[in-house]
Amino acid sequence: MSSTATGLEAVRTFETSWRALQVRKRWLTLGYGLLFAAVFAASAWVGEFNLVKLFQGLPRIHEYVAKTLPVLTLDNLWGDLSEWFYGLPKWLMLLWETILIAYIATLLGTLGALALCFHAARNLSRGGTSYWIARRVFEVARTIPELVFALVFVFAFGIGPLAGILAIAIHSMGGSGKLFAEAVENIDMKPVDGLRATGANWVQTIRFAVLPQVLPNFTSFSLWRFEINVRSASIIGFVGAGGIGQEFYTAISRLYYEDISALIILMVCTVILIDMVCERVRHRLIGKEGFA
């Protein structure tokens, strides 16, 4: 009978420790929940956020949005639409400029990232200094928002698209650079060793052992970056750095209500269209599973 007794003993030990574990887990959940609630409450206080303000604000948002929408009548639909989109030729030109800004900025940013990413990859960097510098450059470039760069560049290069291009280029160099360096860190090192053994110099090693491995990834990242940069290029106009943003800012501040909705529709359509095209190309490049 002693074996049953020890069996019961074991079950009892299991149950007590399981219960203790449950209690501990519950306390932990409660503790983290309270911590989260406290942080949220503190944030609400610092962020001057409360429900009263929110519910006072909501009707005003509705009012504002209603004002931006034009009156469309069924009998004169075409006339109403053409009145709503009266600035279409000009706006399309500005959208084209926005896309071009994003394009050239992506190109410059990618070239910058390409030049530095091999230094910023732990498996290829040749020394502590160049690694450190490349990493810090990428960090600063991607942490400072493009709009802040644009503010400074507008001062240095004058108002216009050039300031915006350089601002987006620098910011996207930081963003792409980080991804590029990570891709380089994940390569197969055998070709690198092979080329080094044949006496290839650093540039040759990069060109023939590293680049063929990472090029599809780099292209895909750059296309993705282009999508982001189209969005950025549509807002840098707020500080006078070119693109459709300038027009939007004017519409908002001069209360051209119907222009606001028309411009938003155009911007959304452009962004969605570009996303769709880029996604197609990206999937063709590295397969559907490779990149979410």
Question: Where on the chain is the footprint of other proteins (CB under 8 A)?
Answer: 39-40, 42-44, 46-49, 53-54, 56-57, 60-61, 63-65, 97, 100-101, 103-104, 107, 139-140, 143-145, 147-148, 151-153, 155-158, 160-162, 165-166, 224, 227-228, 231-232, 234-235, 238-239, 242, 248-249, 252, 260, 264, 267-268, 271-272, 275, 291-292
Residue 59 or 128 with smaller CB distance to other proteins: 59
> Could you give the CA distance from residue 82 to residue 94 in angstroms, rounded to a whole number?
18
Residue 186 or 201 with smaller CB distance to other proteins: 186
Answer whether 248's CB lies under 8 Å from 263's CB: yes
Residue 124 or 251 with smaller CB distance to other proteins: 251
Tell me how far, at minimum, the Cβ of 57 lies from other proteins, in Å.
4
Tell me how far, at minimum, the Cβ of 74 lies from other proteins, in Å.
22
Residue 84 or 224 with smaller CB distance to other proteins: 224
Tell me how far, at minimum, the Cβ of 202 lies from other proteins, in Å.
27
Tell me how far, at minimum, the Cβ of 55 lies from other proteins, in Å.
11
**What is the end-to-end Cα distance of the chain in Å, rounded?**
61
How many residues belong to the chain? 292
Residue 159 or 196 with smaller CB distance to other proteins: 159
> Could you give the CA distance from residue 77 to residue 71 in angstroms, rounded to a whole number?
10
Tokens linked to 283:
């999937």
SS3 122: coil
Cα 228-233-237 angle, rounded to 5 deg = 150
> Could you give the CA distance from residue 173 to residue 114 in angstroms, rounded to a whole number?
9
If you compute the radius of gyration of the chain from its CA atoms, what whole number of angstroms results? 28
Residue 181 or 235 with smaller CB distance to other proteins: 235
CA 127 to chain CA centroid, Å, is 31
Cα 126-132-138 angle, rounded to 5 deg = 115
> Could you give the CA distance from residue 11 to residue 16 in angstroms, rounded to a whole number?
9
Tell me how far, at minimum, the Cβ of 27 lies from other proteins, in Å.
18
Tell me how far, at minimum, the Cβ of 213 lies from other proteins, in Å.
19
